[in-house]
Amino acid sequence: MKKKDIRSLTLTELKSIFIEMGEKAFRAKQVYSWLWQRAAQSFDEMTNLSKPLRQQLNDQFVINAITIARQQQSADGTIKMGFQLFDGHLIEGVLIPANDRMTACVSSQVGCSLACKFCATGFLPRKRNLNADEIFDQVVLLNQQALEHYDRPLSNIVYMGMGEPLLNYKNVLKSVHHITSPEGLDRSPKRITVSTAGIAKMIKKLADDETKFNLALSLHAANDEKRNEIMAINETNSLAVLAEALRYYYKKTRRKVTYEYIAFDQFNDSLVDAKELVQFCRIVPCKVNIIEYNQVKGVRFTKSKEDRLLTFQQYLEQKDITTTLRRSRGKDIDAACGQLANLEKES
């Protein structure tokens, strides 16, 4: 008999199973607490359960905990983790330390189906979505690394690793629930950001579902022709379609949106591009993260020159748009934005 993944069950389902087993319902709550509050990776850790009950659980259920396959540390302190999933697939997550924050960047899919022209993950086929517990485990393991290496816990979590989070909507929201609920890791949703390449109908769904985390849109061009060239998703989710979804999102949530804008040399870093971006920024209250491009093998784009980058940023700031220039972290270990892919490629 195939063992059932115990973390795929709700507390209500778990209670029903325990009652069928002749156990008291409160035992289910104890197990649920071990799984989501204490992030237990085996039934043997559940020491307030009797040995016979632990054995019974072991016979019927499995905890598909992810494991660390590889770890690299950058000269700047960034740590990239290669995680192995229960079925042998490999994904990557990144710990990014800074003076004012400790950020975990987690993946939501094995590979990606969007094939953005500048992103290493985009060259990989999408193998499957990650389960909620596999996303949850990345946070737990990256937090352990933060404590071990920097004696500080995570402060922020960003869904900006491998894959498109909104194409794994159900599992992403379920993982956020377990990370933020008092019965889980009890972290603030205000410290979580989910990034999307721009799936308009799912942006509206985020609003309808009254999500409390932050939304980031990977924009990279405020011009349909250019965005089509680098992001195929724009052909079905044009800037006009995205603008309508963002208005809907802001009207319902009243939360600022963050635009991620990778600056490519001589492609999207001119003053004309900046003016187009300013126009797009008028749609809803927002802030802009300008990101240094990180070279990916086989990709024609290069990073914007420093003078063009600063001129671009200054123009946005002159137009009263809150702008942050994000310097690359972890480039020397291919852990920077757009570089996650190596492990699955090698496997």
User: Which residues are known catalytic residues?
Assistant: 92, 337
SS3 of 186-208: the string is: CCCHHHEEEEECCCHHHHHHHHH
Per the listing, tokens 């507390």 go with 11
Taken in order 38, 39, 41, 42, is the CA torsion positive or negative? positive
* Beta carbons of 53 and 27 less than 8 angstroms apart: yes
144-87-145 Cα angle (round to 5): 10
Q: How many CB atoms lie within 10 A of CB 247?
A: 13
Residue 224 backbone dihedrals phi, psi, to 5 degrees: -60, -40
* Beta carbons of 54 and 290 less than 8 angstroms apart: no
Q: How far apart are CA 116 and CA 126, in angstroms?
A: 13
Q: Which are the contacts of 108, defined by CB distance < 8 A and separation ≥ 6? A: 129, 130, 135, 159, 161, 162, 163, 164, 165, 168, 171, 172
β-strand partners of 82: 70, 92
